[in-house]
Structure 1
């Protein structure tokens, strides 16, 4: 059977159409982070079937920049206030992050024989978009990382949501309203500073440097209340759809048999992450007077977007949950460049 040859423009249009269809289908059936997972799954399936997936470099750069700006806008003065109010909780969050990442990394390295960069990016809990972007700039195996991260997230949401529906009764609820009203001055300041941060991150040549630089610039501006509006959800969703094209394009027809082969590693990573996070959350519940539903959502090794939405739907204080996931995102974003360089150095010396 002869395959239809597509030029770059045709392949790009088809790739975006496939990703968009997957994103909206995922949203319709209720998948977590539908615009990322749906587009990733749809493009991966298309690529596995032999369809040519393509995305121009300028569009990829734009996505990294916009996702960094959007992630940084999750930081606010309220995030800082939460850290001051609950220092023990944030300390245990850091302990949980180290435990989940370290134990999963050792399991993948020693138990499954994975290389260092692949094991590292597969082990990091949450910050899915940044982890995948950063991994693209290394020699890590994107197929393994995508399988482990996506399956862990799907299992996490699938198991956590029904459980929390039971324990979230009478949990404290605080309504947090996001400001989407931009002024020209705010937009200009955020764009210029974000672009400067992205360029600085790019020239430092750290994994995910462009996204990290834009993220830090946006986080500083929002944390200092110099900018209060957040990136409109529609723009962020478009960025996630395009990111799904990038991720899915890393998997080709030659990887079909590998997907099933990596399922045991993904399930093991889910178990390790859940157990380590549960132990840290239990310590916070034992020490502090915080509702267990809040702690469970804040410490779950998943994604900010999905778990904050669950917090809203279950009547759980979203500010506590969101602040912890933003803090974990920043911890991961700041640690990844150093860990990746260290792993590259150790592998070079061997």
Structure 2
């Protein structure tokens, strides 16, 4: 703990006052919302540009996420206006949906088997991670369980608040898992996806006024419905579904220009990287071994289920890996589109995984409360 000497009155004695180092680092730049938003976007854009110059895969997402995460951990305030968040979710959803073609519909007959293996992966990831946190690190039951659930962070945190779970531990585990997915899995997938069958071979950027209006109106309607559905990433998912339906039926053939999509990835990097801040540094280091083990177990369990899908079905490994990765819908769907694999397959699996968690968590939370009350009474 740092100390600062303060005089008590004129000519009085000096007395030490304790200062929190996290308070010091978080206040060395006094930024209002506008200034923080501008600085966040500049840092994100700089990270994306550096990543592109040095040849990193998916540079506009990977570079921006790394840069914003580093800045946020150092104590610089990251901020993004709500209207800009809405815009980027809508834009990225429209772009990802344009990767769907009429041929994609023909593949859906084989997806039920894939969904079944997704459930197996969910049980394996949650069960193995729970046992590791309970037996290996001595965490309590509620904290270990909610930390083990792969993804759906907002829903998991709300459910965990009704128990005695440690919210800081859950947040750190879930955020580190997402950052590791972006930082390590994305470059690996970029290598695997080199020979993947791309969804869109020739992109049409020639817009007509009619196509633009149809896509805009339907995309907005889908985004609004997705928002009120309360599904994580619902706004982006709704725009994606609307765009996918229009492109699958060939009503709209043009896609969002790549430059606009790259701007969207830079903004998405701010959203992902700002999930951890200076207040999480001590907890981040303390819980990092548990987070790394959870990520490793989740990756191995997901790999097993994904391997079975690859063995049974004719789907490219990169596509399966993105669909089974225990991460966020928005980030992994965008990665899928960036790599050229089917974003509708990836998005649908993450939505199904969320629904599985959504149905299970209330019962688990009720069971944990009852179990805790029974243990306390004994």
Q: Residue 110 of structure 1 aligns to a residue in which SS?
A: helix
Tell me if structure 2 keeps the 8 A contact 1:197–1:214.
Answer: yes
1:93–1:34 Cα change, 3 Å: farther
Q: What does residue 297 of structure 1 align with? A: 318
Query: Does 2:66 match 1:41?
Result: yes
Distance 1:187 1:133 in 2: 33
- TM-score, normalising length from structure 2? 0.71
Alignment of 1:275-290 (within 5 A): 275-284=304-313
Query: How many aligned residue pairs are there?
Result: 315
* Structure 2 unaligned spans of 5+: 1-23, 134-138, 161-166, 326-331, 370-378
CA–CA separation in structure 1 for the residues paired with 2:178 and 2:98:
24
Cα distance change, pair 192–28 in 1 and its aligned pair in 2 (3 A): same
Of 254, 262, 281, the match for 1:237:
262
1:99 aligns with 2:120: yes
- Partner of residue 73, structure 1: 98
8 Å CA contact 2:159–2:361 kept in 1: the answer is no
Q: Against the structure 1 CA distance between its residues 201 and 348, is the aligned structure 2 distance closer, same or farther, given a 3 Å change threshold?
A: farther
Alignment of structure 1 residues 162-177 onto 2, 5 Å: 176-177=201-202
TM-score, reference length from structure 1: 0.76
Q: Indicate how the Cα distance of structure 1 residues 238 and 296 shifts in structure 2: closer, same or farther if over 3 A, else same.
A: same
Flag the 1:333–1:200 CA change in 2: closer, same or farther, 3 A.
same
SS at match of 2:256: coil
Whether 2:357 is the aligned partner of 1:339: answer yes
SS at match of 1:30: coil
- The 3 A distance-change label for structure 1 pair 121 and 222 is farther
- Tell me: CA distance 1:115–1:208, structure 2 relative to 1, closer, same or farther (3 Å): farther
Which residue in the other structure is 2:375 paired with? none
Matched, 1:246 2:282: no
Quick one: structure 1 residues 36 and 121, their matched pair in 2 at CA, closer, same or farther if it must change by over 3 Å? farther
Matching residue of 1:264: 293
Determine the C-alpha separation between the residues in 1 that align with 2:352 and 2:301.
23
Residue 110 of structure 1 corresponds to 131
Pairwise CA distance, 1:305: 5.9
Query: What is residue 176 of structure 2 aligned with on the other side?
Result: 147
| Closer/same/farther in 2, CA of residues 236 and 142 from structure 1, 3 Å limit | farther
**Gap runs ≥5 in structure 1:** 123-130, 285-289, 311-317
Q: Does 1:330 align with 2:330?
A: no
Give the superposed CA RMSD: 3.4
Q: Give CA deviations for 1:278-310 in whole Å, capped at 9, x if unaligned.
A: 2332344xxxxx6xxx73333334656656776
State the partner residue of 1:11: 36
Asked whether the equivalents of residues 47 and 66 of structure 2 are also in contact (C-alpha less than 8 Å), the reply is yes
Aligned-partner Cα distance in 1 for 2:198–2:148: 38
1:138, 1:207 within 8 Å by CA — same for their partners in 2? no
Equivalent residues of 2:62, 2:182 under 8 A apart: no
| 1:31 Cα deviation after fit | 3.1
Q: What is the rounded CA distance, in whole Å, between the counterparts of 1:59 and 1:174 in structure 2?
A: 28
Alignment of 1:111-130 (within 5 A): 111-112=132-133, 114=143, 118-122=147-151
Query: Would the alpha carbon gap of residues 58 and 309 (structure 1) be closer, same or farther in structure 2, given more than 3 Å must change?
Result: closer
Cα drift, residue 180 of structure 1? 2.1
